Structure 1
Amino acid sequence: MTGLRQVSLFPELDNRSKSHAPVNVASVPQRSPFRYPGGKTWFVPTFRQWMTSMSVKPNLLVEPFAGGGIISLTALFEQLVERVVMVELDADVAAVWEVIVQGDVEWLVERILSFTVTRETVLAELAKAPTTKRERAFQTILRNRTLRGGILADGARFMKAGENGKGIGSRWYPQTLARRLLDLQRIVDRIDFRCDDGLLVMTEYASRADAVYFIDPPYTAGGKKAGKRLYKHHHINHEHLFQLCQSLAGDFLMTYDESEEVKLMAQKYAFQTRLIPMKNTHHATMNELVIGKELSWLDD
């Protein structure tokens, strides 16, 4: 049937940002010690655009699913907010952030610099039961840098060939990790870190008009499996999250995998959406759904 084209059920939700080309992540300052699956380095330019579009600079950024924390770190280093609240439920990931904010960075740096990565040394280290939080933090970074894709969920496998055939140590850059960790000391006193349920923490700040929220939940809505594969804590009540966003006095920006279920929820709560191009780990261009109260700034 030539001459016909498929019409979307939600044409008003299919607007693309005018910035059509996916972001080159190499152009974005790398702040996080994590190589985080589903990380948002590619989203940093859009986040900056959102923050600078506001008529009044917010005092606080709340990131309820912090993960590798690139958005919160960008906000602090670039003076976009005064303080951030970073929330992460995964106790292993949380151990890294807790060591950072509690002032044990120098121990962690020394441990990273003195560790020689081979398959044997990695397996021996990870076979140990950590007895302190800083040991747990080191093991988390070691796993993050030697498992395929940086995935920390159960069932993740070690790299074999690795980058350019360099094997298990191909993503182990001790000097780079050390520099990033030491750089964080410049902004650490402006971080409130919580190992907690992100939705519960959001309710604490819901009445604050000077708080904004960057929300990047596990992608499990609409039958998506990525969140289940990538994260230990992938269960989330997506409907409750949307209800909570509607109650916020401050602004929010939320990212989701594109699905009709998510578009329906956005429509139900009168949120606006846009599609932003990004490249996945296989370098294929995909669209992610951005959701907010008002997104006209993306059309400028």
Structure 2
Amino acid sequence: MKISSPLRYPGGKSAMADLLGQIRTLNNLGGYTIAEPYAGGAGASLTLLYLEYTKKIFINDADMAIHDFWWSLVNQHKRFLDLLSSTEVNMKEWFIQRDNYRKRNRISRVRRGFATFFLNRCNRSGIIVNGGPIGGIEQNGKWKLDARINKASLQSRCKKIAEYRERIIVSCDDGIEFLDKMHTEKTMFFIDPPYFGKGPTLYLDTLNTEYHQALANRLRSIADKAWVLTYDDCPQIRSMYSGWAHIRPYSLMYTANNRCIGNEVLVVPKWMKLPNSQGSSVVRW
């Protein structure tokens, strides 16, 4: 499947789009919009939008820097694309963009959104906060800073998002608050919160155990709505959803060499059907 998101994201779920499409069809949710409370790279919802599975998507992320990236593409795409075209990729620029990222509200939303994008593409594994530059500060590693920067490809992805901007709604709410605002809509939620186990090492806005439990409680209160939740597979998460929701373990695979990314769980309300076998080449269960 062609990559839709310009962002590289730890545990990104672009590859889940095929399976989500199957779940939508199986549960007669074709007329529903798609909303991601913890959007990150938003690859799954973008793919579903491009395939015309939905008329509109909602991209929400509590991380202001990630929000600024999406806001820039939807509202100021020409300025963003100009920055993408004109910005060099070298260590001098990496330090400039890191400083811009850290300035938060002391810089324009577009420049901070671009800094977020730049660091995401240039840092190891796309990890903005603690990742460090690909190739190291001295650029003496096997791969160099520009290893994940293909400007032509990235410009194409960004332009496509801009083309669909009238059908993309961007927000910066806490994920649970977003659910509270949206749960009356005819919406299918794809909920991919920060990992329970590794979240603190991967995300700026990580969540504690109490928050994960609060999310479970909120989802239980809207178990009559359409939602699909993914998590890292661990006893704590299984315990939170055991007895009142379907829990399906799965593995997400790289298509190039069939290598497993990791074991996760997919959770849905009990009324929702899951396919016994599914056609995605990258999801195993």
TM-score range, shorter chain: 0.7 to 0.9
Asked if structure 1 preserves the Cα contact closer than 8 Å seen for 2:191 and 2:229, the reply is yes
Match of 1:142 among 111, 118, 123: 118
Residue type of the alignment partner of 1:267: S
Partner of 2:179: 202
Counterpart-to-counterpart distance in 2, 1:267 and 1:126: 42
Alpha carbons 2:233, 2:263 under 8 Å: kept: yes
The answer as to 2:254 corresponding to 1:262 is no
Q: CA deviation at 1:97?
A: 0.6
How many residues are paired up? 263
Q: Which runs of 5+ in 2 are unaligned?
A: 278-285
**1:21-170 to 2 correspondences below 5 Å:** 28-102=1-75, 104-128=76-100, 129=103, 131-153=107-129, 155-160=130-135, 165-170=142-147
Distance 1:285 1:108, change over 3 A: closer
Query: Which amino acid counterpart does residue 163 of structure 2 have in structure 1?
Result: R
Distance 1:255 1:278 in 2: 11
Would the aligned equivalents of 1:252 and 1:292 in 2 still touch at CA under 8 Å?
Answer: yes
Note if contact 1:271-1:293 (Cα within 8 Å) is conserved in structure 2: yes
Report the residue type matching 1:170 in the other structure. Answer: A
Give 2:216's aligned residue.
Answer: 242
Q: Which amino acid aligns with 1:203?
A: D
Larger deviation: 39-48 or 251-260? 39-48
Unaligned runs of at least 5 residues, structure 1: 1-27
For 2:66, give the aligned amino acid: V
Are residues 1:192 and 2:166 paired? no
Letter matched to residue 232 of structure 2 = D
Asked if the contact 2:247/2:268 (under 8 Å) is kept, the reply is: yes
Give the root-mean-square deviation of aligned CA atoms: 2.2
> Equivalent pairs: percent with the same residue?
23
**Partner-residue secondary structure (3-state), 1:298:** coil
2 CA distance for matches of 1:216 and 1:75? 16
1:222-274 per-position Cα deviation (integer Å, ceiling 9, x unaligned): xx1x1111101112512221121122242110001111221122114x10111
Name segments (4+ residues, structure 1) moved above 6 Å: none
TM-score by length of 2: 0.85
Give the aligned residue type for 2:189: Y
Larger Rg: 1
Deviations 1:92-135 (A, max 9, x none): 11111111221x11221121122221222322443355621111
User: Matches of 1:298 and 1:131 in 2, distance apart?
Assistant: 47
How many angstroms apart in 2 are the aligned matches of 1:56 and 1:278? Answer: 24
Aligned partners of 2:4 and 2:46 also within 8 Å: yes
Q: CA deviation at 1:196?
A: 1.2
Provide the residue aligned with 2:228 in structure 1: 253
